[in-house]
Structure formats: structure tokens, C-alpha cells
Amino acid sequence: MIAFQNLSISSKLTRLSMSVSLLVLLIACGSFVAYELLTFRGRAADQLDAHAAVVGINATPAIVFNDRAAARETLASLRAMHDVVVAAIYLADGTSFATYVRGFRDDAASLPGRFESSGTWPRIENGRLAVARAIQSDGKPIATVYIESDLRMLATRLQTYAAITLCILAVSLLAARLVSSSIEKRISEPVRRLARTADAIAADKNYGLRTGVTSSDELGQLAGAFDKMLDEIEAQNEDIRRREQNFHELADAMPQMVWTLLADGSTGYVNRQLIEYTGMAANDVKAWSWGVGLHSEDLEPCLRAWTAALRTGMPYNAECRIRRAADGVYRWHLARAVPMRDPKGQVLQWFATCTDIDAQKQAENEARQLNALLEKRVEERTEQLVAANKELEAFSYSVSHDLRAPLRAVDGFSRILQEDYDDKLDDEGRRVLNVIRNSSQEMARLIDDLLAFSRLGRSEVSGADVDMSALVRSILDEMRREIGTLPEVALRALPPAHGDSALLRQVWINLLSNAVKFSAKSDHPRIEVGGYPEGSAHVYYVKDNGAGFDMKYYDKLFGVFQRLHRSDEFPGTGVGLAIVQRVVSKHGGKVWAQGAVGQGATFFFTLPK
């Protein structure tokens, strides 16, 4: 089978046609010979049986009168039939009555001593055709005629048939060879043209060649499809050449150095900028390696990274210094290479660029120097702030100690005057004395709030789970004990918080105190406290139906010492909401408010969940 596969198509066609012709002729001749043999045997048996019937009729009187000589004479009449070898007449008891032998003593040996009529007749015995015919007299069998004939005529006929068959085979094969040779030329010649064209294209890469086959049969269609494929390949090659030309023109117009590399890393194309920068000759492009001209400190890490990129097929990025041939200066470049793959993911080539980043590197160095200078200045400023904070702490202590003592003295002596000399003062004197006491007490509260606000900026926030509902209830209980009667308070469910419990307590105290203070003049003062989750935070609010505020002054609401109401209407220092904002900000939340004059106000703040 392998040897047949390696044959040329003309040899295959010739052998196939000859084999088919031979097979058909053998089948036809064999069928004819078989048919002739079967019909000849039947005719010979019928003829022999007819002779046996004639012999039986002629020998009946001899058998009846027991005349053996006459019976032998009757059998001797078979001498005219050259193919009869032996014959005999057997009586009804199977004993031999008369025999005939053609002339060879050995032929008589084939006659049976006794005749057995069992079996099928005629039949072949000992290579001879044998028939047996019963002889009857008055409707009763009296004897049997037995005749054997040799098959020489059959052998002669077979030899004749074999000679005829061989002649027919020889003539037919010769005709088949001539026909197949003619057909083979018509079929194999277009195929050979197609093969020669393909070999020439593979050798010379000349896609302008064509097969020249013009027939309209299947081979012509195949050759036409091959020529059409060549047309498409030639058009694609032309398009590729045009695209390459466009790519080269575009690459030459770019400010970067551009080049391509084959899958193994060897150089394919370099643009004009790279040739000018490196100073290479145009005929040295194929031998050029992009590692040439790298700074000695960058060569090893860049080549190691490039080797890893070739091995893994991953994009390549590196910053390196490359020597400029014009002045020998090393300039910083960003080198990049990305693989271009076929549909199966195999790397076909690499597209690489080098972008000059020397100015950027210088800017980065200057930025690092500037950052170092700024860090030094920040350290100096930090030291100054630490010293200022210490001075502020000392000042706070001085305010707390030095200012409180005179205020306590003023308040104390004023109280002594009220208690011991009240009856000696007129109404105006008592009024002035009350103003002195109230002002000194207000000044003391202002100092306390200022110090509290200052301490908030320096305090650290501790983190713990806080039950906001319990915290608000405890503050309300304290306010009831201090003030007495509170407005109606609706305490809704409050989400738990995580933060500094002491600082959050100050938030609630300031908001609840403001709500109680600003709703005191309402006919039916009411306060609502609640909270709800919103996104990544919990929102808490305090709502009252008191004096409210004008939203156009909202920007002043959370400033230190900023007040939206006169102190004779609603006393206070103007620090409480600033403290609220600072505490909530230190917890990572925010504060805002909504209100309207005479319609109350609602203050909100958030804390992270």
C-alpha cells in the first residue's frame, strides 16, 4: 500500500485501469467457462443415458433368453462412441451378465463386481461420468445397463476455452493499456502542471505563475481554484508590502526609536531615528542588537528582563540609559516591547520602541530634591508646631489659673456685697452688682469652653462600642436632675456606634442642651432624638420645635464664638456647636443642620459603621 501511495498519479491511473480490466475479464471468462462446463456435463450425461436406453432395448431379448453372447454384441455397438470406456449389463440380482471394455485391461477394473442401484445417477466415479439405466420387460425390471465415459472431450474443451480466454485477456489488456494511457495523459497532465507550478512557487516565491490548465472538468476547476488562490495571495502580498511601506513611513515620522524583532529576538526592522541615534550603518541593521550602546550599569538588568520576556511571551518594559552616537552622551529612555501573535497565540514578532525620558528623569531628580527640602521644612515646621503647642498648653494653664483667680475674686466679693450690704444699696447699686456677678460668671464659662475646645484638638480618639440609646438616656436623666422639667422628648431607636464614649457624650450634651434651650419659649416644646443607617455610616439627629434659624447664616453656625441669636434671648458662649463639629470630624463623620426661623431646627451627624 505504501509503495502504491508513492507512485505517480499516471502510474496509479494505469495500474488501477489495468487491474479493473483484468478483474472484469477474469470474472467474465470464468463465468463463461463455468457455464460451459455445467452445460457440457449435462449434455454428455443426457447423451450417455440415451445410449444406455438404446442398449437396454436391444439387449432385452438376449437377457430374456439368457443369451450372453448376443448381449455382448449389443454392448460392442458402443465401440462407435470413443469416449465410452467400459459398459456392463447387470441382472436384477446385481450379478454381471455381459461386459464391454474399450481395449485396455486396466479399464475393466473400474467395473463393479455387483451392481448396487442406490445413489444418484448420472454421477462422477473415479474421474469418469457413469450412468445406469434399468431394463424392463412386461413392466418389470430385469436388468441394468451401466456405462462409464471418460472426460477427454471435456478436457479438450477446457483447453480450448483456456486458449480462447488467454487470447481475449491479452487483446483486452492491450486495448485497456492503450485506452488507459490516453486517459492518463488527459487526467495526469493537468495534475502534473499543477504540481510543477506549486514547486516553482515554493522554490522562487513567484506568485505570478499560473497552471495554464483551461479544461472545464473537475481538474480544470481545481486548477482554476489554485490560480484564483494565487491571485488572492499575490493581492495579499501586495497589500502587505503596501502596509509595510506605510508602517515604515509612519515609524520614520515618529520621534521615538522604533524597531521590530523576530520571535527568536533577532532584529527585523529599525526606523530612521534609531539609525541616526546609534550611528549604525544601513547595512548593519540585521546584525544590530538593541543591547549595544546601553550603559554598563543598565546592561545586565535590561538583558535579564528581555530574556524573561522572550521566554514567557510577556510585554517588556525597562528604563535604561542609551549612548547617543553624535556626542557620546547617555540619555535616559523608556524601552518597551510587545509581542504580536498569530490566531493560535504563538509569538510572530515583537514591536519595540524607545522613548527619550531624559527630561522627565531630570524633573524627577529635581522633584526628589525639592521633596527632600520640603520634608526638611516640614520637620522644622513640625518642631515649631510642637513648641507652639507646648506654649499654647502653657498659655491655657495660665488662662485657667491666672484669669480664673481674678474672676473668682470679683464674683466672690460681689456675692459678699450682695449678702452683707444689700440693705445699704439702692436698686441701681443692686442692679450693677448683679451685672458684675453675671458677667464674671459668663466670662468663667467662656474660659472653660475655650479650654475644652482647645483640648479637643490635642486629644486622641479611643475606639470602643458605644450604646447610643443608653448614653442619651443617661444625659437626659442628668438634665432632669439639674433643670427639673424637660420638654417632651421622643427617643427613637439609635444604632450603636464605635468611638470615644466621653467625646460622643459631649456631642449629645451640646445638641440636647441647645434643643432644650431654644425650644423653651415654645407653647408645647418637643424634642425628637433618632438615628438610622445610611450606606456605610449611621446618621443621628436631634430635632426641636423651638426658635430655629435663618439658613442664609448657615455658614456661621459651626464657627467658634459665632451666634445667630442675641445672648439676652438665649444665653451661651457660641462654642458648643464648634465642639460638636470637631468631635464628629475626629471620628470620621460630618455634621449639618436644617432649620427655619420660628419652626425649629434639626441637627444631624454621622459616624462610620
Of the pLDDT bands very low, low, confident and very high (cuts 50, 70, 90), residue 565 is low
**Does the pLDDT of residue 332 top 90, yes or no?**
yes
Of the pLDDT bands very low, low, confident and very high (cuts 50, 70, 90), residue 531 is very high
| 87/554: higher pLDDT | 87
Of the pLDDT bands very low, low, confident and very high (cuts 50, 70, 90), residue 452 is low
Mean pLDDT of the 97-123 span: 75
* pLDDT the model gives residue 246: 83
* pLDDT the model gives residue 494: 93
Predicted confidence (pLDDT) per residue in 341-381, tens digit: 888 888 888 888 989 999 898 998 888 899 888 888 888 88
* pLDDT the model gives residue 510: 86
* pLDDT the model gives residue 469: 93
Predicted confidence (pLDDT) per residue in 186-237, tens digit: 666 677 777 778 777 777 777 777 776 777 777 677 777 877 887 788 888 8
Predicted confidence (pLDDT) per residue in 511-525, tens digit: 998 888 888 778 889
- Strand-by-strand arrangement of the 537-544 sheet: 488-491, 526-534, 537-544, 601-608, 591-595
How far, in Å, CA of 356 to CA of 257, rounded? 9
| 385/433: higher pLDDT | 433
Mean pLDDT of the 426-444 span: 76
Mean pLDDT of the chain: 80
Closest CA to 497 of 459, 466, 469: 466
- Strand-by-strand arrangement of the 84-91 sheet: 96-101, 84-91, 140-149, 128-137, 123-125
Predicted confidence (pLDDT) per residue in 122-167, tens digit: 887 777 888 888 888 888 889 999 888 887 766 676 777 778 878 8
Retrieve residue 140's grid coordinates: 418389470
CB atoms within 10 A of CB 456: 18
Residues in the chain: 609
How far, in Å, CA of 265 to CA of 360, rounded? 29
SS3 of 107, please?
helix
Closest CA to 51 of 77, 22, 21, 20: 77
Predicted confidence (pLDDT) per residue in 245-281, tens digit: 887 778 888 888 888 888 877 788 888 888 888 887 7
Cα distances (angstroms) measured from residue 593 to each of 513, 540, 570? 16, 11, 19
**Does the pLDDT of residue 472 top 80, yes or no?**
yes
Taken in order 305, 310, 311, 313, the sign of the CA dihedral is positive
* pLDDT the model gives residue 590: 92
The amino acid present at 208, given as its one-letter code, is G
- pTM for this prediction: 0.37
**Does the pLDDT of residue 607 top 90, yes or no?**
yes
* pLDDT the model gives residue 290: 66
Q: Helices 152-204 & 218-253, crossing angle to 10 degrees?
A: 20
Predicted confidence (pLDDT) per residue in 495-511, tens digit: 999 988 888 988 898 89
* pLDDT the model gives residue 92: 84
* pLDDT the model gives residue 241: 83
Mean pLDDT of the 543-557 span: 82
